Amino acid sequence: MDVTLKSNDLAKELSYLEKIVSQKPVVPILGNVLLQADASGGLRLATTNLEVGLITSCQASVDMPGSLTLPVEKLLSITRLLTEDVRLTLEQNQVRVRSGQYNARLQTLPAEDFPQLPSMKGLAALQLPRLGLRDLILKTRSAVSSKNTQLILNGALLIPGDEILTMVATDGHRLARAVIAYTGGAGAPAIVPIGALDKLFDMLAEGIEATVAFAQSDRHLFFACDGRLLISRTLNGKFPAYERMIPKAHPERIEFSAAALSLALQRVGLLASETQSIVIDVEASQMTLAASSTTDGDAGEQIAVAYSGPAFKTCASGPYVLDFLNAVTEDMAVLSVKTALDPLLFSQGLDYQCVVMPIRM
């Protein structure tokens, strides 16, 4: 193989591919990127950690078609520092890297040892809004469980409906649900694993295409946008009946400024205990936050709220509430409550809801 391409184009695609690779791959080939050049002038690049894979491409001048693999992190480190076009040439068991006066040789591993990635050809695809999908991930990602005790919770449920696109995540202590308007067609729900969520969020940050082609098979999920294809293994199992976890009859509504509550929580939380629990006390038009630690001391702060119900007092995880506040798109939000032992429902309209379980005081 012998190809020449722009170093900044290669570095850009490698920056996405590098995020797929495990820090300590179980086999050496999984630390490499597969490069496949064809006579038409395209260079296909792929990486995988066996759970998530990414295929992308670059325009290149191809003097000799072929395939090879290179350590993705090392190649990215080199390419980022190059200012001229880069030429990659396979020479026996090594790859020559040239750019201007720069000349290096990298060890390669056989391309035939690289795992074969599945294709979405022949699968029915839905067109999901790119920015809308990224917003759903932003609002629900924090509620995905990172523990291995319940694998089905290690992902977010994506539900393409007739008129809305929904994403839900829960770790058993909180739940986040976000909805956007959608006209791409109804489809079967799918659980997107946490690893794929993070890579998809990065992939959708920029691009010119307004939609993402989404397809699924029995074993894999596919997301294609702007010439990149993200492939993820599916999570098998039944997602919890999340509708039952969202309170329907919380009569008391507390309206507040998300920015004001966020700053107050951060300041008070500096002196919270290891559990990061914050006491929330609401009376009339005032919310009081309090936290204490046996080693550091205590802190409290008050913010103005719109509330005319009876006095209410509860305790909740400060970081859980902050995760909701960090994802809101407008300043005014609502806390719906019932009793100190009932779940807290934070929301912005019906499009974004977050349920947080209280902590016993």
| Separation between Cα atoms, residue 6 and residue 59, nearest integer Å | 8
Average pLDDT over residues 206-214: 93
Buried b (16+ CB within 10 A) or exposed e, 176-209: bbbbbebebeebeebbbbbbbbebbeebbeeeee
pLDDT above 90 covers what percent of the chain?
91
Angle between helical axes of 7-18 and 194-203 (0-180°, round to 10) = 160
Average pLDDT over residues 157-183: 96
| Separation between Cα atoms, residue 26 and residue 23, nearest integer Å | 10
pLDDT tens readout for residues 85-116: 999 999 988 999 999 999 999 999 999 999 99
If pLDDT is split at 50, 70 and 90, which confidence band does 151 have? Answer: confident
pLDDT tens readout for residues 247-289: 998 999 999 999 999 999 999 999 999 989 999 999 989 999 9
Structure tokens at 274: 């290891």
| Separation between Cα atoms, residue 80 and residue 77, nearest integer Å | 6
Alpha carbon of residue 141 to chain centroid: 6
> Residue 29 has what pLDDT?
96
Q: What's the pTM value of the predicted model, to 2 decimals? A: 0.94
| Separation between Cα atoms, residue 207 and residue 42, nearest integer Å | 19
Exposure of 294 by Cβ count < 10 A (0-12 exposed, 13-18 middle, 19+ buried)? exposed
